[in-house]
Amino acid sequence: MHSSSSQGHLERRLKNRHIQLIALGGTIGTGLFLGSAGIIELAGPSVLLGYAIGGLIIFFIMRFLGEMLVEEPNAGSFSYFANRYLGRFAGFLAGWNCVALYVLVGMLELTAAGKFIQFWWPGIPTWVTAAVFFVLINGVNFINVKAYGEFEFWFALIKIAAVLAMIAAGVYLLANADRPEQTVRNLWTHGGFFPNGFSGLVMAFAFIMFAFGGVEMLGFAAAETDQPRTVIPKAVNQLIYRVLVFYIGSMAVLMSLMPWTDLLGQLKAGGDTYSSSPFVLVFSGLGENTAAHLLNFVILTATLSVYNSMVYSNSRLLYGMASEGNAPRSLMQVNRRGVPVRAIVYPAIFTALAIVLNYVAPAGVLELLMSLIVAALVITWTIIIVAHWRFRRAHVARKTVLGFPAPAAPLTNAICLAAMALVVGVMLLTPSVRSSALAIPIWVLVVYGAYRLVFRQRPTPVLESVLEPAHIPR
């Protein structure tokens, strides 16, 4: 039995290669491999433009977070910055909203893993698969942060290699195809590039942004990297290239190999739009069975990679919140390997509900979780945007020379806020996810009620305090 200490600390054992792959691990997962099906249905080939716009918005948001992390690396990440620059309630909301977000993402990934397993063994219920992977991934995170880093490194490496191989194989098939239906003209000949008009792309925007959920967890690794000032800027800046290659490149190849209308028909033939991965279906439909099986394996590892990252990020978030007084101090308890044990166990209890949901009502679980995740993401990203604006104002007042300034701020802050408003607007106009958008103010009020119960005092503005020299670490 390993001893624990309530005064323990996290270990700086993550190297550059770990941080780079953690950033990638949170970006490429179910949102691309399964969630893209719903986007294709709404936008058709214009999904390529949608990913480009969404990727740019996310790049700006990550530059905001990166600027703050380089100056003040902290395990609490944006929860810490919200607490410091927007007030205690903002920090409380940022933290607990993100805890809920990552629990939901974990539930989604466990559900999605079940669907990918059913590609090989249709008779295995999703709840059984969810239970097995739940135990496996949480077990890995109990070892130490280096074990997590290594696990995620190899998971993400498989993912990168496979997506690049898929793109290369797709390009080869297009260049050597003896089938007339395999052509880049599929991107504009089946109803045009905007088959449902520009409004179709706009209505897909909420689901496009869902695909990028998870990039912000890079911040939680900042406290455990040995060189945050060099590693974090690299990881953030490479994000835009990853978006271009992995999202836009893979989708362009996919919809060139098979007309998007045919692909959509095959997806719906499986029961619903999210019955299986569009990537696997395309290669399977082309008769490339070996490629389809390999790709399904890779997608499964990608899904587990994201869940692994969620477990890690949630535990470090709770650790950081506990250090700020926004969560019970007991969550700072770490064992002698530097693992915050309770911060792993408590979110896992709620994530285990995915097993129950998939047992009781497996049909609509995936779409429900996706819509709730988008709502939570909007809150998280909005807090990052506004916290950065206040952070920048505070440091400008101090004439601080920033090590990694975000481009064109505060103009880009305003653009990103407008994008968040657009996401909410789209959700309100979409019947299937409207309830999730309406739940946003209700959820904020619930968290505020909990905050008042815990602190029984009015939130104290902190901007004035951070302007004092002693409060700005260098």
At 195 the pLDDT is 94
* 474 inside domain: no
Nearest to 256 by CA among 325, 188, 205, 348: 188
Domain span holding position 411? 7-469
Strand, helix or coil at 206? helix
Residue 13 lies in a domain: yes
More confident residue, 96 or 179: 96
Q: What percent of the chain has pLDDT over 90?
A: 24
Whole-Å CA distances, 159 to 68, 173, 190:
29, 21, 31
Instruction: Give percent of the chain with pLDDT exceeding 70.
Output: 84
- What average pLDDT does the structure give for the chain? 81
CA angle 29, 425, 429 (to 5 degrees): 90
Q: Rounded to the nearest 5°, which phi and psi values hold at 29?
A: -165, -135
pLDDT digits (tens, 9 = 90+) for 297-321: 888 888 887 888 788 878 877 887 7
Domain assignment present for residue 137? The answer is yes
Whole-angstrom Cα distance, residue 50 to residue 56? 10
Q: Is residue 71 part of a domain?
A: yes
Q: How many beta carbons lie within 10 A of that of residue 444, not counting itself?
A: 14
CATH number of domain containing 294: 1.20.1740.10
Domain total of the chain:
1
| 64 band by pLDDT with thresholds 50, 70 and 90 | very high
The yes-or-no verdict on residue 421 having pLDDT over 90 is yes
Q: 2 in a domain, yes or no? A: no
- At 422 the pLDDT is 95
In a domain, 329, yes or no: yes
**Averaged pLDDT, 331-360:** 82
Asked if the model's pLDDT at residue 278 lies above 70, the reply is: yes
Domain presence at residue 1: no
Does the pTM surpass 0.85? The reply is: no
Judge whether 327 lies within some domain.
yes
